Structure 1
Amino acid sequence: MEDWLLITVSIILSTTLIYLLSLLTKKKPKLPPGPPSFPIIGNLFWLRMSLFDLEPMLRRLRSKYGPILTIRVGSRPSIFISDRDLAHKVLVNHGAAFADRPPALESSRILSSNQHNINTAPYGPLWRLLRRNLTSEVLHPSRVRSYGGARKWVLGVLVEDLKDQARARGDGVCVAVESFRYAMFCLLALMCFGEGLGEGVIRDIEKAQRELLLFIRKLNVFAFMPRLTKLFYKKRWEKFMEMRQRQEEVLLPRIRARKEQKMVMKMPRSDANGVFTYVDSLLEITLPEEGGRGLNEGEMVSLCSEFLNAGTDTTSTALQWIMANVVKYQRVQEKILEEVRSVVGGEAEEVNEEDLHRMPYVKAVVLEGLRRHPPGHFVLPHAVSEEVCIEGHVIPKNATVNFTVAEMGWDEKVWEEPMEFKPERFLSGGEVAGAVDITGSREIKMMPFGVGRRICPGLGLALLHLEYFVANLVREFEWKAVEDEEIDLSEKVEFTVVMKNPLKAKIVQRAH
């Protein structure tokens, strides 16, 4: 009896020890691989760089560590994903867990009024409210159609600006980028504040916005020990605060004027001309999570600034890249012109929104431009709200996740000769191929607007504006390369990834 008891106890103890040993030796999921880093030295080094500076390095690291890797940037691990299938699993299959934003740095909190704008707001009620307001009140298709008159007016401003440049030089040559940017800004300003701003006011707003936008990259140093770095870089911080104050000085009078106009007209949903603006929608917002209060003036400045920036630089950058390829590849221009003339004829004053629905080649040119030259090579960083295991790697709670947009659009497994500009790749039987889902809901082949819950809400508006201006610019002018000068598609980074040498072209007005 004692022998059996001893055997039984031995078996139980052995089984328990084996089980405990297996728990100790069992491999737990680890962070995605990455280069070694030092907690302080490494962090200080990365703070001197932007995500765009990291891009060439990430390409080298991918060959060593694979399509998902970890780099220590700041106090949190930063995960970089360059594989489209992994990106789909993260942004679509686990969308809710990856829909948050990292805590804002002090400079970002000032610009966003403590994360009270769409881009920086944490995933939750405030973000849903602000995004829903934008998509339903301003970006709804019926509302977008109501801005048709503004689009036509801005097109006229752009055409005259290009003509003036060509005449002033005497050789028909223009440098288009500033004209493109100003035209896009005018259009967004009209949608934001309404008509009657005047060129001087628009120029003042544009200057304040542009200067602050380009200065943001210099604020990285304040991410590490801000109290100390604000002493070391005192003048830089003071300049930043002056720029923010200037931004408020030029935007607040427009917001207040719109508010007074609505009060005089007893709070109508549009002005005397029937125009409903983004500011009008902001004046109607109440925040249930904050006692039902309305937006304060600082928050409205931040939201208006976000609206102007999001629709100006990205769209004007994309337009410049597309038109550069139109000049470089004359066959593309000829096909656009042929399609435009077949739809609107030679007498129409413009190609309007309804006409664009019958222009698949123009749409294909725009999509190819966004694939080959996405204005942003990264989306805004995502934050993880709960630990998730992806492909055997753990993505810890509060980690920051970034996605290499450009790399996904250049994937040789998806796109034949990905670095070539071939709009025909988007066509099937003369129509835009339905298999290319730019939203990435089914699969990701390109993601210039992001994917998932944080996808850019202005996707439809951006596509409309690009198609509208590409079609009308080719209808109005013949675009040629300057004699003895090739179109240079080299890149440089500003707020977006722009042409290193801005597009310079000779334009000749077409006979209608």
Structure 2
Amino acid sequence: MEFLDLSIIVLALIFLCLWWRYWPTTGGGPKNLSPGPPGWPLVGNLIQIILQRQHFIFIVRGLRKRYGPIFSMQMGQRTMVIVTDSRLIHEALVQRGPTFASRPPDSPIRLVFSVGKRAINSAEYGPLWRTLRKNFVTEVITPTRVKQCGWIRKWAIENHMNILICLCFGAKISEQRIKEIESILKDVMLITSPQLPDFLSALRKKQLECLVPLIKARRAFVEKGENPNQEMVSPLGAAYIDSLFRLEPDKTRGPLGEEEYVTLCSEVISAATTVEWAMLHLVMNQDIQDKLYHEIVECVGKNGDIKEEDVENMAYLESVVKETFRRHPSSHFLLSHAAIKDTELGGYRIPAGVHVEFYTAWITEDPDIWSDPGEFRPDRFLRGDGVGVDVTGTRLVKMLPFGAGRRICPAWNLGVLHIKLSLAKMVQAFKWLPVLDSPLDMTETYAFTVVMKNPLKAVILPR
């Protein structure tokens, strides 16, 4: 019996040694994955990450220094390949876009909110994704649709409303209701860590309860002409949700239902934080704010109406927006990508379906790409290292606020327009000053999105 026990122990040790050598240690093993930290049996690097008690992005930064610009990790049964080099990111997303255009299997958490991956962001690369994306582009961001919805965009900006919520449902929605929608969607976007199933179910229920009444009201308006409180103001076909009512993207699963409508609208109207970050820097640096104000006055006057074509001609405004994207990317990682087939990147094998994570925030901090990357300097986009930078990464990856390639955010152009209009109107109408004895707080909250931990506080004076 003792000999048997000893044999079992020896075999177990041999197994553990082989596991350590060939499975968790990705570099040099038979899989030819990129190098990475040795992991534990079964759980890989998962427990090690938890025990470090720091946010994942700081762990990634440390691993990048040790293993180079592309490395692998084993998180339980999930293999992650993390790419941090601008040239490799450009190769994968732009030069070989179709190969890396799919999505890996979702976690149970995300499957709840993506309704089984039937959304633009989460759908695997294929017919379903193409149908959903084509419908969005046709119904929301074509020049004809943008022009048609100009009046509701003007109303929303003047009343400080979330424009995309109004465009989605073709409705004038109360400020209180919009704040409720934004709050719930922010909670959904911040889900990155394991949560109790009861919490997730409750959050999904709140999301449905918040948006389904709007969907039902719009459907009654579209199909029966009902509009009891005159909330629905866009004509038939002018709201994004109208196109979803008649869409049947997946013949095997039939038409979309209310849960799919909620998910598809939510991914469009999730609140962006760019305007708040930009205003924080304008409050911190009055010279930048004054320079922007003078450009606005020169273009439209002190009290002139700022139109969409006006902001497109404001070079310094564009520089402020670009520098905000660079200094405060909305996320440190792009949404997870996956290769549609076994391939290679940077000399290492990328198996089909593994999680390929592009750590794009590092690019905006890289001193080899940007001079004084920690400084907020809009002028760099007029004369300096930012001149000619393409935010889509088509020519060269120096910043990727919207992703790149096949899975780039389809509404990025519309989003930039809304940000420019909002900033221009806010600076034209008011002078923004810091609150006395209340230092400005640039602390970030790290989750899927990067948001300001404490809301911006400022003294606002009419011009």
CA contact (8 A) 1:441 1:452 kept: yes
1:322 to 275, 278, 282: 278
* Corresponding residue for residue 303 of structure 1: 264
> How many angstroms does 1:367 deviate by?
0.3
1:186-226 residue CA offsets vs partner (Å, 9 max, x unmatched)? x2221111224334543443444344444x234x36xxxxx
1:407 to 350, 362, 368: 362
Cα distance in 1, alignment partners of residues 189 and 394 from structure 2: 31
Judged with a 3 Å threshold, the aligned counterparts in structure 2 of structure 1 residues 150 and 452 are, in CA distance, closer, same or farther, namely same
Cα distance in 2, alignment partners of residues 476 and 507 from structure 1: 9
> How many angstroms does 1:47 deviate by?
8.0
Letter of the structure 1 residue corresponding to residue 296 of structure 2? V
Letter of the structure 2 residue corresponding to residue 308 of structure 1? I
CA contact (8 A) 1:193 1:279 kept: yes
Runs of 4+ in 1 over 6 A off after TM superposition: 26-29, 49-52
Give the TM-score normalised by structure 1. Answer: 0.78
- Give the number of the structure with larger relative contact order, counting CA–CA contacts within 8 Å between residues 6 or more apart: 1
> How many angstroms does 1:52 deviate by?
9.1
Matched, 1:352 2:307: yes
Say which SS state the counterpart of residue 279 (structure 2) adopts.
helix
CA contact (8 A) 1:52 1:377 kept: no
1:424 to 361, 375, 379: 379
* Corresponding residue for residue 364 of structure 1: 319
* Corresponding residue for residue 460 of structure 1: 413
* Corresponding residue for residue 149 of structure 1: 151
Give the TM-score normalised by structure 2. Answer: 0.86
Judged with a 3 Å threshold, the aligned counterparts in structure 2 of structure 1 residues 404 and 34 are, in CA distance, closer, same or farther, namely same
Cα distance in 2, alignment partners of residues 340 and 194 from structure 1: 30
1:364-403 correspondence runs (5 A): 364-403=319-358
Cα distance in 2, alignment partners of residues 50 and 242 from structure 1: 30
2:223 to 263, 285, 294: 263
> How many angstroms does 1:265 deviate by?
4.8
Cα distance in 2, alignment partners of residues 489 and 208 from structure 1: 23
Matched, 1:446 2:399: yes
> How many angstroms does 1:156 deviate by?
2.7
Letter of the structure 1 residue corresponding to residue 398 of structure 2? K
Cα distance in 2, alignment partners of residues 365 and 208 from structure 1: 29
1:402-453 residue CA offsets vs partner (Å, 9 max, x unmatched)? 1111111122222111111111111159xx94x2111111111111111111
Identity %: 38
1:478-493 correspondence runs (5 A): 478-493=431-446
Cα distance in 2, alignment partners of residues 445 and 369 from structure 1: 14
* Corresponding residue for residue 286 of structure 1: 248
1:65 to 51, 63, 67: 67
2:235 to 263, 274, 285: 274
Judged with a 3 Å threshold, the aligned counterparts in structure 2 of structure 1 residues 494 and 503 are, in CA distance, closer, same or farther, namely farther
1:78-123 residue CA offsets vs partner (Å, 9 max, x unmatched)? 1111110011111122211211111122222221111110111000
> How many angstroms does 1:147 deviate by?
2.6
> How many angstroms does 1:53 deviate by?
1.8
* Corresponding residue for residue 181 of structure 2: 205
> How many angstroms does 1:259 deviate by?
1.6
Judged with a 3 Å threshold, the aligned counterparts in structure 2 of structure 1 residues 262 and 27 are, in CA distance, closer, same or farther, namely closer
Cα distance in 2, alignment partners of residues 188 and 486 from structure 1: 32
Cα distance in 1, alignment partners of residues 321 and 51 from structure 2: 31
Cα distance in 2, alignment partners of residues 206 and 446 from structure 1: 26
Structure holding more helix per residue: 1
> How many angstroms does 1:304 deviate by?
1.6
1:15-53 residue CA offsets vs partner (Å, 9 max, x unmatched)? xxxxxxxxxxx9977111111111334454278599992
1:339 to 268, 290, 295: 295
Cα distance in 1, alignment partners of residues 446 and 72 from structure 2: 23
Say which SS state the counterpart of residue 376 (structure 1) adopts.
coil
Cα distance in 2, alignment partners of residues 448 and 463 from structure 1: 10
Judged with a 3 Å threshold, the aligned counterparts in structure 2 of structure 1 residues 440 and 481 are, in CA distance, closer, same or farther, namely same
2:166 to 180, 190, 214: 190
> How many angstroms does 1:372 deviate by?
0.9
Letter of the structure 2 residue corresponding to residue 426 of structure 1? F
Letter of the structure 2 residue corresponding to residue 458 of structure 1? A
* Corresponding residue for residue 162 of structure 1: none
* Corresponding residue for residue 6 of structure 2: none
Cα distance in 2, alignment partners of residues 56 and 288 from structure 1: 40
Cα distance in 1, alignment partners of residues 451 and 352 from structure 2: 34
1:440-486 residue CA offsets vs partner (Å, 9 max, x unmatched)? 11111111111111111121111111111111111111111222444
Cα distance in 2, alignment partners of residues 28 and 325 from structure 1: 50
Say which SS state the counterpart of residue 460 (structure 2) adopts.
strand
User: RMSD of the alignment, in Å?
Assistant: 2.6
Letter of the structure 1 residue corresponding to residue 261 of structure 2? M
Cα distance in 1, alignment partners of residues 234 and 447 from structure 2: 37
> How many angstroms does 1:277 deviate by?
0.7
CA contact (8 A) 2:302 2:428 kept: no
Judged with a 3 Å threshold, the aligned counterparts in structure 2 of structure 1 residues 121 and 51 are, in CA distance, closer, same or farther, namely farther
* Corresponding residue for residue 238 of structure 1: 198
Unaligned runs of 5+ in 1: 1-25, 159-182, 222-235
Q: Which has the larger radius of gyration?
A: 1
CA contact (8 A) 1:112 1:120 kept: yes
How many residues of Structure 1 are paired with residues of Structure 2 in the alignment? Answer: 429
> How many angstroms does 1:134 deviate by?
0.8
Letter of the structure 2 residue corresponding to residue 98 of structure 1? F
CA contact (8 A) 1:482 1:505 kept: yes
1:91 to 90, 93, 105: 93
Judged with a 3 Å threshold, the aligned counterparts in structure 2 of structure 1 residues 66 and 44 are, in CA distance, closer, same or farther, namely closer
Letter of the structure 2 residue corresponding to residue 422 of structure 1? R
Which range moves more in the overlay, 330-339 or 40-49?
A: 40-49
Judged with a 3 Å threshold, the aligned counterparts in structure 2 of structure 1 residues 363 and 44 are, in CA distance, closer, same or farther, namely same
Matched, 1:497 2:458: no
* Corresponding residue for residue 462 of structure 2: 509
